[in-house]
């Protein structure tokens, strides 16, 4: 049986993040594991083929990064009760920059992750077609097992 001590959960602050985090909390609770949430600010270089960046791109990227950090702090505050009632005393978090799938994979490796819990849906519409499925890339390349949560499927029973 796996010895799960470190659970990594990428979030995107969408309405789906709630479902994914609830599942990650349940896993962390059952294994008495550390829970780490991560958000990745996608770099503008991913759009270089069809986007001409303005001169002040570094300041825009820094503003996005700072906004993401504030949103992460807000997310943690909003879910403090969920963590506490499940016996998770401390949730670590990080905000990173770069290609979303690559950063998740690198982060999981750097943090010695035992399990990644993530949603199957994040991107929508044209972005998903253009950049592919982040979950698919992570599942195929992760250094540890990946548990995917489809936030649109509800089991009845």
- 155 is a domain residue: no
Range with lowest mean pLDDT among 44-53, 80-89, 97-106: 44-53
**Average of per-residue pLDDT across 1-18:** 89
By residue range, what is the domain housing residue 75? 6-149
**Average of per-residue pLDDT across 134-154:** 90
pLDDT band at 89 (very low <50, low <70, confident <90, very high): confident
- 144 is a domain residue: yes
- 53 is a domain residue: yes
- 156 is a domain residue: no
- 124 is a domain residue: yes
CATH assignment at residue 16: 3.40.50.620
The answer to whether residue 74 scores a pLDDT higher than 80 is yes
Domain count for the chain, please give it: 1
The answer to whether residue 124 scores a pLDDT higher than 60 is no
- 157 is a domain residue: no
**Average of per-residue pLDDT across 97-120:** 95
Q: Which residues pair with 36 in a beta bridge?
A: 8, 92
Q: Which residue has the higher pLDDT, 114 or 121?
A: 114
Residue 78 exposed, middle or buried by CB count within 10 Å (0-12, 13-18, 19+): exposed
In this structure, the number of other CB atoms found within 10 A of the CB of residue 46 comes to 14
pLDDT band at 57 (very low <50, low <70, confident <90, very high): low
pLDDT band at 62 (very low <50, low <70, confident <90, very high): confident
């Amino acid at each position: 049986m796996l010895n799960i001590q470190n659970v990594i959960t990428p979030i995107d602050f969408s309405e789906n993040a709630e479902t994914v985090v609830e599942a990650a909390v349940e896993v962390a609770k059952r294994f008495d594991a550390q829970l780490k949430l991560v958000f990745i600010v996608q770099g503008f270089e991913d759009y270089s083929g069809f986007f001409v960046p303005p001169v002040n791109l570094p300041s825009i990227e820094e503003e996005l990064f700072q906004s993401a950090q504030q949103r992460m702090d807000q997310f943690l505050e909003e879910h403090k009760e969920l963590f506490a009632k499940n016996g998770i005393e401390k949730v670590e978090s990080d905000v990173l920059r770069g290609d979303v799938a690559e950063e998740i994979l690198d982060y999981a490796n750097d943090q010695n992750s035992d399990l990644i819990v993530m949603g199957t849906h994040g991107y929508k519409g044209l972005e998903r077609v253009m950049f592919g499925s982040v979950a698919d890339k992570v599942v195929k390349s992760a250094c540890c097992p990946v548990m995917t949560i489809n936030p649109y499927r509800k089991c009845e029973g």
